[in-house]
Amino acid sequence: DIQMTQSPSSLSASVGDRVTITCRASQSIRTYLNWYQQKPGKAPKLLIYAASSLQGGVPSRFSGSGSGTDFTLTINSLQPEDFATYYCQQSYTTPPYTFGQGTKLEIK
């Protein structure tokens, strides 16, 4: 199975900051990489699919990049509603679909 590793596991930032979360796959997954946001008590929400495509309705301050084994999620100008946990997930070799362990973004 393909292993997905996110870094950091947690991150503190302030409103207005730019933050980057990294996801690494244990083997090449081309651009079959998706990013989700999850707030406490809520279901995950798709932000980015195919490494860099923005899901409809998601603010343009979110962006994704990368291919092969290394990927990044960037949030420009953090807003209060962006503090949440973020997960990456590969959909290249399936099943199984595998997720990263999550990155918790907290307010500094």
The footprint of other proteins on this chain (CB under 8 A) covers a number of residues equal to: 24
Q: Does 103 bind other proteins (CB under 8 A)?
A: no
Residue choice 19, 34, 37, 78 for contact with other proteins (CB under 8 A)? 34
Q: Does 5 bind other proteins (CB under 8 A)?
A: no
Residue choice 8, 15, 30, 50 for contact with other proteins (CB under 8 A)? 50
**Complex with other proteins: residue 32 or 83, whichever CB lies closer:** 32
Four-CA torsion 26, 61, 106, 48, nearest 10 degrees: -30
CB 43 within 8 A of CB 92: no
- Tokens of residue 26, six digits: 């244990």
Q: What is residue 45's three-state secondary structure?
A: strand
Candidates 78, 52, 77; CA nearest to 63 is: 52
Binding residues for other proteins, rule: CB under 8 A, are 32, 34, 36, 42-46, 49-50, 53, 55, 87, 89, 91, 94-102
